[in-house]
Structure formats: structure tokens, C-alpha cells
Amino acid sequence: MKYDLIALDMDGTLCNDEKVIPQENIDAIIEMQKAGKTVAVVTGRPESGILPFIKDLRLEEFGGYVVSYNGGRIYNVKEDKILYNCPFPKDFLPEVFRIVGDSSITVTSPLDKKIVAGNSLNDYSYTESRIVGLPFEFVDDFVNIDVSMNKLLLVDDPTVISKYLPVLQKEFEPKLHVFLSEPFFIEITPANVNKGQGLHALAEITGIPVSKMIAMGDSYNDIEMLREAGLGVAMKNCKEGVEKY
């Protein structure tokens, strides 16, 4: 089958361990676009967290897309326009804080220009801020924060995260989507928001069927798009079990 769109995860797929896209990857993606393929970067990051990479990949020139917040938002790079957005329902915030309030977990939400955080600070709290290059702002009253957000990111030592993951899943699934993206990250998104669903939303926008998409990823939050795409490719360095999908 001919594939017309290539959906690429960012961290661990496009980027190496130093959070840099190797030049050979950049060259290959540019050649794909020159050959008429559409490229979409599908990431848990906000668009603002990957702007330098978009420039290197020349997505603006060729008309590529960013599917950000693990499928919660779609950005047309050439038009500099948000085409799809699914905000996080903030009515759930009090219940999230009730469950993790006595823990060392940092509750964060990446926004367009900063990362807001609350509850507590730990050795992992600033991880996302360092990854995406956005400033970190701790707020005392996160539950009543007056901003629109797309997801929550709960951050702590993997031993703490593994304890709270099943508790949060039992409480919120299927009202929300609760999943592990890294051993130290629990992500909470609106119901049915995931990278696989993001591909279907992208299909509606581009007219390219999901069956004609290739998806490449390495981590747990890539599983849905690897399942949904016409061809799912798990990277050699993928997390244990991801290759089964």
C-alpha cells in the first residue's frame, strides 16, 4: 500500500537521548516531503515546545502538522493555525488533588508559554520544563487557576508514580484517559484523547485516511497511534512491550 502521511513521535523517536534530531533524520524527513508526503509530529509536548525542531524539518515550507498534547490539539504549521482543540475538563482538578494531595507528586500542566505546577516539588518536578524549554511556575492554588489547559502531567520518582497510577486509573477511567508516558510521568487527558485519536482527527483535516498513514514511536503514549495507523513502527529503542503493538 502507498502511504501518504508519516506521523512521528518526538522524544525517543525523532530525537536522540540528548533531545536533538540527528542530521540524517532531518535529511530523510525533508526528502519525504519533497516526494509529496505529509509529515506530522505527534507529541505530548505543546507546539511551543518543539518550534526549533519544526524549523529544522521545514514543516512550514511543505505544509506539515503538529499533533500536540498527545492528540489534544492539531496545529497547521504553514497557516500558523490551531485546527483542532480538546481542552482538559477542569472540573476534575479537585478530585485529582484529593487523591495526590498528601503525596510528593508535582501536578503540572504545560501551556503555550510556560508550565504551571502545584501540590509539591520533588527531584523530577522540573523534568518537563527542561525537556520542552518552557519556564516553570509553581502556584499555590492550582485547582482554581484561571487558564485553559489540555492535559495534566503528574511527575515524581517512578516508585511513587507506580503506586498512584492504578489508583488514578480506577478513579477516572473512562471519564478521563490516565496513562504512563515515562516511568516518572502520569498523563491525564480528556476522555478519548490519545495519539491514535489524534490521527483520526488529522485524517478528517487532511483527507488522508488513517490506513494510509505510517506512525513511528517508542513509548507507552504511542501505543494507540501504532495500533491505529495503516503501518505502525515501534523504534528499536522502544519501552518494553511497545513493540507488541
Crossing angle of helices 158-172 and 93-100, in 10° steps, is: 140
The tens digit of pLDDT for each residue in 50-98 reads: 888 889 999 999 999 999 999 999 999 999 999 999 999 999 999 999 9
Q: What is the reported pLDDT for 1? A: 66
The grid coordinates of residue 192 equal: 478519548
> pTM for this structure?
0.91
Which cell numbers in the block locate residue 127? 523534568
| CA–CA distance, 153 with 61 (Å, rounded to integer) | 32
- One-letter amino acid at 61 equals E
**155, 105 Cβ separation under 8 angstroms:** yes
166-181 confidence digits (pLDDT tens): 999 999 999 999 999 8
Q: Which of 209, 231, 215 is nearest to 6 (CA)?
A: 215
Q: Does residue 187 contact residue 152 with C-beta atoms inside 8 Å?
A: yes
